[in-house]
Structure 1
C-alpha cells in the first residue's frame, strides 16, 4: 500500500476511511455524542521516561516509554472522580502504546494488546504496519487535550479527546528523511472512543472513531 510519508493526518487527508479503519473505528452513537457534552472535563527504540500508570491500583501494567525524539503531552487529563480518572488513564496509555509500537516497529506490542480489545488491537496493528512497511518512525510532539470522560448507562466508558499533530513528523529510519505534518486544521483530530472494563480492572479500548478537524486549538 502506498501512502504519503506523513504522520496520521496525511493518511487521513488522502482518504479518511484509511485512518478510521486503521485506528479501529466503530460507529459513533448519536445519544452518546449528546451525553458527552455534559461530561466532566479533564483538562528509534524507547529510552525516555516510562509510563506513569505503573499499577497504583494493583494491576500489573506493561511499561511504555517513548523515544527522546518524540513527545506526547496530555494536557489536563485529570478528574476528581476516581472511576473517570481510571478511564482517562487507560485511554491515554492505549494511545501511548500505539505511538511506542510505531517507534519500535513492533507489530506485536504487548502494550497495544493490553489496552485494546481484539478488534481494536487488530486494526491498530494494521495502522502500525503502514509505518513499519515504509520504515518510518515518528518524531516531534503531539498534544492531547480537551479530554472528556463518562460512564454510559450500559457501564461502558466513553472518552473523547483531541490530538494536535502539527508539531510532529515522520522520519525514515534508513534515509533520515523527515516529512512534517501539515500545519492545517485537518491536523487536529478528535478521537471518540469506547472502553470496557475487563475482569482485571483494565479499561480496554473497544472502538475508536476519528473525526477530521473535529477540534479547534
Structure 2
C-alpha cells in the first residue's frame, strides 16, 4: 500500500495550478500560531465560519489523528470565511476516512456537486484498502484570494507535511508512512464557491507533491 498515493489527493476537474497560484494572495503563513491539535477548530472558531446562518455538521476526526492548522488566520473577514470553510472541508474528508464512509453527508455539505466526486474518490482510496489515518498532519502556508468582481469564487492554496502522519490498517494495525525517497510535503490548490447560505464549498482540488 502506498502512503504517497493515499495522502496525495487525486486530481479533480482540470484547473491550471500555475494560474491559480499566480492569483493567490497570502492571507496567513505557517508561523508559530496555536495549532489545531485535536482536529477541532480552536475556541474562537467554534462559531459558524463567516458568521452566516448555515447549520454546519459536527465532524469527528479519526482516533489518534490530529490536523494542525498553523497560522490559519486573515484580517479580512471574507478571506477568513474562505479559510474556515476550506479547513472544514479538509476535516470533513478525514472524518469520512475515519468513519470509512465515502458517502458521508458532511462531504456533500462542504463540496459542490462538481467537487463531490473527487472527495468521495479520495475517501475510497482509504476505505477500499481498509485503512484509516494516524499521527499528526500540519496544514500551513495558507494563501487565499477572492476572484472576480462579485467575490463568489475563491482560490485557497495550502501545504501539508506528512512526516508525522501514516496510514493504519484497520484489521492488522500495520502502520505505513511515506515511502523512502518520497517528498513529505504536498501543495494543494483548491477553488471554492460561496452559496446562498454563506458556505464556501470546494469545487476543485489539485495537489503537487514536493511543491511546498
TM-score when scaled to structure 1? 0.82
Q: Which runs of 5+ in 2 are unaligned?
A: 31-37
Of 9, 28, 38, 1:41 maps to 28
The size of the alignment, in residue pairs, is 198
The answer as to 2:77 corresponding to 1:89 is no
RMSD in angstroms over aligned alpha carbons?
Answer: 2.2
Partner residue of 1:63? 58
Give, in whole Å, the separation in 1 of the partners of 2:75 and 2:15: 29
**1 CA distance for matches of 2:77 and 2:111?**
21
**CA gap 1:185/1:40 in 2 versus in 1, 3 angstroms:** farther
Q: What displacement does 1:161 show?
A: 0.3
- CA pair 176-28 structure 1, distance change in 2 beyond 3 A: same
Q: Are the equivalent residues in 2 in contact too, given 1:166–1:183 (CA < 8 A)?
A: no
Q: Which residues of structure 1 form unaligned runs of 5+? A: none
Deviation at 1:141, TM superposition (A): 0.8
**Partner of residue 192, structure 1:** 189
CA distance in 2, matches of 1:66, 1:144: 15
Partners of 1:137 and 1:176 in 2: CA distance: 10
* Deviations 1:98-147, CA, capped at 9 Å, x for gaps: 01111110121122111101121111111211211211011111000000
For residues 49 and 31 of structure 1, the distance between their equivalents in structure 2, rounded to whole angstroms, comes to 31
Aligned to 1:10: 5
What per-residue deviation string (whole Å, max 9, x for no partner) do you get for residues 20-66 of structure 1? 33xx2431264432222x433244xxxx6755544262321001121
Q: How does 1:1-217 map to 2 (within 5 A)?
A: 4-6=1-3, 9-11=4-6, 19-21=9-11, 24-28=12-16, 30-36=18-24, 38-43=25-30, 50-51=40-41, 52-55=45-48, 57=51, 58-153=53-148, 155=151, 156-182=153-179, 186-215=183-212
